[in-house]
């Protein structure tokens, strides 16, 4: 509920209370006139005014409390919206980053492909498996595995 709605509602309540009080005074006056007791209603006007002032003070205090609560809630909502906006922007940048990166460019896949290409090039140069292993810093069994992968890839390409 926003502050303006609350202020309007509070004002309507005050108007209703004042109308009820006026109606009560009017009906009380009419009753007193019938009974020739017109002066009785004005016996304690200070008391009625004091009560009305107290009611007004309480309503104003209530309204101020509600305004403060509304201000705090709006501040919290603004903070939440800022965080949500920040998170949304981060997600969008991540989505752009991942959508612009082709699926086949995963770092491990790139390293494996690069390693197979290096092994193939060194084999074409006539180096042995042991020399290639030393040069690339991997084991000879990895060299054999990469050779098998290259062979399988070539066979699949032919089919």
Contact predicate 140/129, CB 8 Å: yes
- For residue 9, give Cα distances in angstroms to 6, 13, 72, 124: 5, 6, 20, 88
pLDDT, tens digit, for every residue of 63-120? Answer: 999 999 999 999 999 999 999 989 888 888 888 777 665 554 555 556 777 888 888 8
**Domain layout of the chain by residue ranges:** 3-100, 105-158
Helix (H, G, I), strand (E, B) or coil at 92: helix
What's the pTM value of the predicted model, to 2 decimals? Answer: 0.33
Tokens of 81: 């919206």
């Amino acid at each position: 509920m926003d502050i303006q709605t609350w202020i309007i509602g509070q004002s309507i309540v005050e108007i209703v209370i004042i109308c009820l009080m006026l109606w009560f005074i009017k009906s009380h006056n009419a009753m007193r006139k019938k009974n020739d007791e017109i002066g009785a209603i004005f016996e304690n006007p200070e008391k009625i005014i004091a009560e009305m002032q107290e009611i007004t003070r309480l309503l104003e205090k209530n309204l101020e409390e509600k305004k403060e609560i509304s201000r705090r809630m709006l501040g919290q909502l603004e903070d939440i919206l800022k965080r949500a906006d920040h998170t949304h922007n981060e997600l969008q940048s991540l989505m752009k980053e991942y959508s612009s990166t082709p699926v086949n460019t995963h770092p491990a896949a790139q390293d494996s492909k690069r390693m197979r290409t290096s092994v193939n090039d060194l084999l074409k140069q006539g180096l042995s498996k042991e020399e290639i292993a030393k040069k690339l810093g991997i084991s000879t069994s990895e060299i054999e595995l990469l050779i098998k992968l290259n062979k399988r890839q070539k066979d699949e390409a032919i089919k």
